[in-house]
Structure 1
Amino acid sequence: MAPSRPLYQFPLYAALIVAWLWALPLAAMESADPAFQKWVKDFRKTAIANGISGPVYDRAFAGVNAPDQWVLDKAAYQPEFKAPVWQYFDNRVQKRAVARGRAEKEKLQPWLDKIEQRYGVDPNILLAIWSVESSFGAILDNQTVMRNVIRSLATLAYADPQRKKFGRQQLLAALKILQSGDIDEGHLTGSWAGAMGHTQFIPTSYQAYAVDLDGDGKRDIWNSVPDALATAANLLSSNGWRRGETWGYEVTIPKRKLPAGKLTIAEWEKLDVRRANGEPFPRKQDKAELKLLDGRQGPAFLMLKNFFVIKRYNNSDRYATAVGLLADQIGGAPGLVRDWNRPFTPIDSNQVEELQRLLKQRGFYKGEIDGKAGAGTRAAIRNFEKSAGVEVLGYPSREVLELLRK
């Protein structure tokens, strides 16, 4: 077989084809879906009727020829709602996140002071949100989970029966973001559901709350940390954040049944509810609601107004509690007085890293060494336990770590 000629000897049209193929987006390289392409063509009329220009729409959908199956798979399975309570919190409220939060606080102090002065939101809360949402921006470099927002939302609008309305609404908002010039098509990336930037805002929330804090003329939550944190602060402030107040208290409760709903702190005290650290409640007339996220065997909390404001960011008790607990520890507070109810002896994030490394060395684990005991880590633990002839539990425990060390 004769050696192939160098590129410069190809006819001009062949060279142009090669260059075009190299520049073609991944979506266009995949098998085209005629039904999806027709949907995109038809939705163009809806977009124009909602104020999107034809050229903006065409640029946004250039090379988007098929729905993203990965997005549909993620929509069908959301581990946040399936993970045990201890696993959810161990993966978010951990020593590494606290240390990184304190380091970022020192580095960003002038910006954080400016944000707090303008919006009244505790900087530690903003740092905790940044950590929980994007691991302080690390997720933005992960091309596996950060996708083309236009394609992701079009996929939901076209192919997900439960999220069609959401997909259409968010897609129109994302197109308006492109039209505003705050970001271009090549950098409009987000999660499977279109959550964008350091603080993971969906497009409609971005439109409502995005802030240009650094003064460069763009509300850039993808590349500007000050803009992203100010945007989060604006959302919280606009939804009723109470300046200078906390989000909640860890408490001890009596054995008898307690009422549901909100009571004043003074009324909770009459029912023998006390702060777990032994300190007095600072404002007796604040209204609070009792939350037991792990049953009576786990920690108990009285949740205040700011807890429910955090839930406007993500309507999950677990999420808002994780943000609050992490924020407290970034600010120097100790951890929980009463730990989560777990069937094993826990280890910290550094030890989970060691466990992951040892599992990888033995061929049981192929994921990232990140100190987070997710599904991959637990599956690797179960396989190791099977091979070791011990009870198969799959917990990131001190017992498993010590067995691996041997």
Structure 2
Amino acid sequence: MIRTLILTVIFAFTMAALAVPESQAATKAGVEAQFRQWLEADLWPAARREGVSKPVFDRAFAGVSLDWDLPDLVPPGFPKPKQRAQSQAEFRSPGAYFSEKSLQSLTASGRSLMQKHSGLLQRIEQRYGVPGAIVVAIWGRESGFGRASIPHSAIRVIATKAFMSTRPDLFRKEVLAALKILQRGDIPASEMKSSWAGAMGQPQFLPSSYLDHAVDFDGDGKRDIWNSTADSLASIANYLAKSGWVRGRDWGFEAVIPEGVTCALEGPDRARPISALTDMGIIRISGRPFPEHERRAPGMVLVPAGIYGPEFVVTPNFYVIKEYNNSDLYALFIGNLADRMAHGGSAFVTPWGDTGKMLRSDIARLQSSLENLGYDVGGADGLPGYKTRRSIGEWQAKNGQRPTCFPTPALLQALR
């Protein structure tokens, strides 16, 4: 009985020591105090279980305070931020993503760097199977070929987000991964720089991606994606190779889908030999035939703006690029930039239509209506991905309309 009472008292005192009064928690100083307690009582035991030593942990957080300037923070004790009405966010036309000025500037710099690092890129392609132009295109898009300012302390950013962001579980995993990097000794905490989102170095890897994909290609015994061009480029290639890059295949081709062939063919789960697509009448927009080795291999239709913009036949490598950044437009940007650098390519031939006239909340309602009819739209998130686009096309065909595979106000009204 006495032992039970003692344990109860000890537990109460421990909880009291960790707790911060509501009045104190409603101040930045109070939240900072909670943060230091969280580091010692919660994060340190988890880090120790991951093999992180106390000296490494203490050095990582010496003098580290919360970064209050980051977005999407939910400080304990503070009023929760009001959610922005989804109707405030307008879906932008896909064409807005493809700034010709930006693409031309990146192409000029990328070509020069491909020549400068030609030997390195050849060795990387030999090992990982990823063309140098794809690697350099990602390098350019992510960090301006390593020239972009990456000013934030990764430990501070990720720890702040793990403690008080809208996605604490995600960033808790990432802060533990960052501590494991420090334990390895690849870089000191003072030099572990990231973006405001916690993406690190020239390839913009989160810490978990670093652990899975970063490589030491210059042979100095460290995986340095902050200062080593060789490590940075090889790490990008390794990421794509581990994500399933198919050696020897292109990423895709701008195409023309003829009248009478539905745009609802879209999606990686509807792959078929490219020769089967050409049998339907789908051709490259250049008029040149698809390379013979590509004709025998699987391809997929891609219509990111439905019938209101460029149409494509893409290979599985397109979806590997999406593993790096889960966006059709990002993967198209990388593919187009790589083509410009390697083959003298230019802008897509078909212009992007002005399709950004709907609010995201309206698109979400349209998606919900299709879901209620049994269509798989990939979630009612207000972003028209390939599942939404092809569901629209299928509904239109079923209801006697010409498939356009893209949301419009008229379509939303028809589905109500």
| TM-score (structure 2 length as normaliser) | 0.69
Residue 73 of structure 1 deviates from its aligned partner by 6.5
CA distance in 2, matches of 1:71, 1:169: 19
Q: Residue 359 of structure 2 aligns with which residue?
A: none
CA distance in 2, matches of 1:213, 1:142: 22
CA distance in 2, matches of 1:61, 1:72: 22
Q: Residue 129 of structure 2 aligns with which residue?
A: 120
Q: Secondary structure at the match of 2:96?
A: helix
C-alpha distance 71-187 of structure 1, shift in aligned 2 (>3 A): farther
Match of 2:153 among 148, 151, 161: 148
CA distance in 2, matches of 1:55, 1:67: 23
Aligned pairs (5 A) from 1:47-62 = 47-62=47-62
The question of whether the paired residues in 1 share the 8 Å contact of 2:217 and 2:231 is answered with yes
Q: Secondary structure at the match of 1:249?
A: strand
Residue 300 of structure 1 deviates from its aligned partner by 0.5
Q: Deviations over 1:116-163 (max 9, x none)?
A: 111111000001000111111122x253xxx111111112211123x2
Residue 192 of structure 1 deviates from its aligned partner by 2.4
CA distance in 1, matches of 2:62, 2:301: 51
Amino acid at match of 2:147: A
Q: Residue 63 of structure 1 aligns with which residue?
A: 63
C-alpha distance 99-170 of structure 1, shift in aligned 2 (>3 A): same
Q: Secondary structure at the match of 2:300?
A: strand
Q: Residue 207 of structure 2 aligns with which residue?
A: 203
The question of whether the paired residues in 1 share the 8 Å contact of 2:198 and 2:206 is answered with yes
Aligned pairs (5 A) from 1:124-203 = 124-139=133-148, 141-143=149-151, 147-161=152-166, 163-203=167-207
Aligned pairs (5 A) from 1:219-298 = 219-256=223-260, 257-258=262-263, 259-260=265-266, 261-282=270-291, 283-298=294-309
Residue 45 of structure 1 deviates from its aligned partner by 1.2
Residue 287 of structure 1 deviates from its aligned partner by 1.3
The question of whether the paired residues in 1 share the 8 Å contact of 2:310 and 2:352 is answered with yes
CA distance in 2, matches of 1:181, 1:272: 57
C-alpha distance 125-190 of structure 1, shift in aligned 2 (>3 A): same
C-alpha distance 204-170 of structure 1, shift in aligned 2 (>3 A): same
CA distance in 2, matches of 1:72, 1:170: 17
C-alpha distance 142-250 of structure 1, shift in aligned 2 (>3 A): same
Residue 335 of structure 1 deviates from its aligned partner by 2.7
Amino acid at match of 2:228: S
Q: Residue 11 of structure 1 aligns with which residue?
A: none
Residue 55 of structure 1 deviates from its aligned partner by 0.8
Q: Residue 45 of structure 2 aligns with which residue?
A: 45
Q: Secondary structure at the match of 1:208?
A: helix
The question of whether the paired residues in 2 share the 8 Å contact of 1:101 and 1:128 is answered with yes
The question of whether the paired residues in 2 share the 8 Å contact of 1:68 and 1:151 is answered with no
Amino acid at match of 1:269: T
The question of whether the paired residues in 1 share the 8 Å contact of 2:150 and 2:194 is answered with no
C-alpha distance 334-67 of structure 1, shift in aligned 2 (>3 A): closer
C-alpha distance 244-340 of structure 1, shift in aligned 2 (>3 A): same
CA distance in 2, matches of 1:321, 1:81: 22
Q: Secondary structure at the match of 2:65?
A: coil
Q: Secondary structure at the match of 1:138?
A: coil
Amino acid at match of 1:249: F
Match of 1:105 among 108, 111, 114: 114
CA distance in 2, matches of 1:91, 1:205: 31
Q: Deviations over 1:211-254 (max 9, x none)?
A: 11111111101001111000011111122212221001100112
Q: Secondary structure at the match of 2:318?
A: helix
The question of whether the paired residues in 1 share the 8 Å contact of 2:100 and 2:347 is answered with no
Asked if residue 319 in structure 1 is aligned to residue 330 in structure 2, the reply is yes
The question of whether the paired residues in 2 share the 8 Å contact of 1:290 and 1:300 is answered with yes
Residue 275 of structure 1 deviates from its aligned partner by 0.4
Unpaired runs of 5+ residues, structure 1, are 1-29, 344-406
C-alpha distance 142-154 of structure 1, shift in aligned 2 (>3 A): closer
Q: Residue 353 of structure 2 aligns with which residue?
A: 341
Identity %: 41
Amino acid at match of 2:34: A
| TM-score (structure 1 length as normaliser) | 0.71
Amino acid at match of 1:37: R
CA distance in 2, matches of 1:121, 1:225: 16
CA distance in 1, matches of 2:256, 2:324: 28
Residue 270 of structure 1 deviates from its aligned partner by 2.0
CA distance in 2, matches of 1:248, 1:285: 14
CA distance in 2, matches of 1:221, 1:113: 19
Q: CA RMSD in A?
A: 2.4
Residue 295 of structure 1 deviates from its aligned partner by 2.3
Aligned residues: 307
CA distance in 2, matches of 1:304, 1:49: 42
Residue 44 of structure 1 deviates from its aligned partner by 0.9
Decide which moves more: 223-232 or 334-343: 334-343
Decide which moves more: 30-39 or 149-158: 30-39
Q: Secondary structure at the match of 2:334?
A: helix
